[in-house]
Amino acid sequence: MKKLLVNVDHVATLRNARSEGYPDPVEAARICESHGAAGIVFHLREDRRHIKDADAWGLKEAVTGLLDFEMGATDEMLDICCRMKPQLCTLVPEKREEITTEGGLNMPLIMADYRSRVLPKLAEAGVPVSLFVEPSIRDMELCAELGVPVVELHTGTYANASDADKPRELKRLREAAERAHSLGIKVNAGHGLGFANIRPFLEEVPHLAEISIGHALMADAIMRGLPTSVSEMAALINEYN
């Protein structure tokens, strides 16, 4: 079953623009779950540019479905995550100068550190792990080598591709999903997906479980309302189950 997870980071972005107490990402999470979302995603960044620590703990208390804690694998974030114990921790690359996450983890570069420092700490705390990765056969095989049970395929390149390049990107995503599935790895996906591009993605890419959507839903919600945006996206995804 494909399920919608909603990223509420940009509710916090809007709140922080005026340093007001609203809109509240925790209340947004409640609305999303009551209108078809199977869970909530948040990214607690080192610079706290959107989600703050209080938001993260508020989401832990409020979310009734799956809570996916996205984070860079810093010692600080590992400590917070191990105390919080979310249902899923998705490890992502993070750079201070980026506007948003720009791609998947550099798997060959992080292998030794993740094997020795990162994954053992999360395993000891009982926190399930997902890696945010590029849709490549090699990266799926490296994830299997690490024993990671879940991957989140980076869909940003597909989302931003020209019409001429989209078939190539869908092929990469399809082949990566098939390889991950063959290795016993659960396949999630996210980044840049929205109403304008999700149907071809759902039609072409197999074995999908959780699909994370944030910015596009929040942008749509400004015009049409969060309940409408979330319920319509959840219904659209359900068409492909």
Among residues 96, 88, 197, 187, which one has the least CA distance to residue 135?
187
The SS3 of residue 241 is coil
* DSSP 8-state code for residue 45: -
Catalytic residue among 10, 35, 43, 50: 43
Catalytic residue among 33, 70, 94, 210: 70
Reported in sequence order, the residue ranges of 49-110 that DSSP labels E, i.e. its strands, are 66-71, 88-91
190 DSSP β-pair partners: 154, 212
Has 215 been annotated as catalytic? no
Which residue type sits at 12?
Answer: A
Has 203 been annotated as catalytic? no
What are the residues whose beta carbons fall under 8 Å from the beta carbon of 173, sequence distance 6 or more?
A: 135, 153, 155, 158, 189, 201, 204, 205
Has 154 been annotated as catalytic? no
- Name the residues annotated as catalytic: 43, 70, 191
